[in-house]
Structure 1
Amino acid sequence: MFTELPSWLLTQTAAHAHRLVAEGLGAAGARGYHFRALTALDREGPASQADLGRRSGIHLSDLVATLNELSEGGYVERTPDPSDRRRNVITITPPGRRHLRRLEKQLARVQDDLLAPLSPDERAQLTTLLTRLLTHHGAHN
């Protein structure tokens, strides 16, 4: 039966996970792109828009809107690149770091909800197996 196929199970679980994440981030006034951009800036430091797009895996057309939203919230700053005034450097602000910490806590709650039926060891094993699949198929960033 198709409901026993791993691909079907992954697709159904991914759709449910996507809904939970979107709802969780929405409750915190954010979207997935906000989390990805802020995380990339927090972990790897300031970046041009092009570099940030590569780091976060956000397409440039989506990144511009995301940065506009984050800038309006005071979570990032755009400043001219001293080495090339045609480019902007994007930097996370202190309020952006606080917002990111709130989003991380919200996503931890979402993970707990999604993975509730699994023990801590099973959660770790699932993460390892999914990482292996993504790495094998070249989709892991």
Structure 2
Amino acid sequence: MISETFGGNMKKHLPSTSRSLPFALIRAREGVMGPIRDMLAETGISEQQWRVLRILSECGPLDSSTLAERASLLHPSLTRMVFAMDKKGLVTQKRSDTDRRRQVITIAPAGQDIIDSNYEHALRIVRDFKAKLGEDRYEQLIDLLQMLDPHGDQ
């Protein structure tokens, strides 16, 4: 923290917002999400729904707690979202065979169709980020950000 004296009073200053990690992460998130939002505008699904579909497509069926954690969503928000996505035919949900208290969510064919139909566009977005940062710095950035992830590497 930087301190300066003004007329005998010490004034404390936080780091400049231009060098503040929270501010930098928010600005970077907006830069990263812009192209993704553009892609999703044509799909009729939200960023959060995209995350849910991507995780289910990649990991297969998951219980709702694991899915909420991996999608960085609060469990009540995921519950409401999955209900709406189930009604749209994007996912299915059923009680776990081993623990009746748990819901298991699976991507439905219509949800997988959204992933598949946006595959090339999503790859282009990734290629653009890698071109901007360079392959090594792109991978290093992901590694550094994972170090700040309270849930660790997923």
Normalising by structure 1, we get a TM-score of: 0.73
| Structure 1 spans left out of the alignment, 5+ residues | none
Question: Is the counterpart of residue 60 in structure 1 residue 75 in structure 2?
Answer: yes
Q: Which has the higher helix share?
A: 1
- Residues 102-121 of structure 1 aligned to structure 2 (within 5 Å): 102-111=117-126, 115=129, 118=132
**Alpha carbon RMSD of aligned pairs, Å?**
3.0
Structure 1 pair 86/13, CA: closer, same or farther in 2 (3 Å)?
closer
Greater relative contact order, per chain length (Cα 8 Å cut-off, separation 6+): 1
Q: Could you tell me how far apart the structure 1 residues matched to 2:20 and 2:100 are?
A: 50
Please tell me whether the aligned partners of residues 25 and 106 of structure 1 are also in contact (alpha carbons under 8 angstroms): no
Bigger radius of gyration, 1 or 2? 2
Structure 1 pair 54/102, CA: closer, same or farther in 2 (3 Å)?
same
Q: By how many angstroms is 1:33 displaced?
A: 1.4
Q: Deviations over 1:45-102 (max 9, x none)?
A: 2122112112322221221232123212211111122223333221112222111222
Structure 1 pair 41/4, CA: closer, same or farther in 2 (3 Å)?
closer
Please tell me whether the aligned partners of residues 52 and 67 of structure 2 are also in contact (alpha carbons under 8 angstroms): yes
Secondary structure class of the residue paired with 2:102: strand
Secondary structure class of the residue paired with 1:107: helix
Counterpart in the other structure of 1:129? 140
Q: Could you tell me how far apart the structure 1 residues matched to 2:26 and 2:70 are?
A: 25
The alignment of Structure 1 onto Structure 2 pairs a total of residues equal to 136
Q: Deviations over 1:15-56 (max 9, x none)?
A: 232233223212221222112211222222212211211232
> Which of 95, 102, 123 pairs up with 1:87?
102
Identity of paired residues, percent? 21
Once structures 1 and 2 are overlaid, which stretch shifts more, 101-110 or 3-12? 3-12
Which amino acid counterpart does residue 53 of structure 1 have in structure 2?
Answer: A
Please tell me whether the aligned partners of residues 53 and 107 of structure 2 are also in contact (alpha carbons under 8 angstroms): yes
Normalising by structure 2, we get a TM-score of: 0.68
Secondary structure class of the residue paired with 1:77: strand
Question: Is the counterpart of residue 29 in structure 1 residue 19 in structure 2?
Answer: no
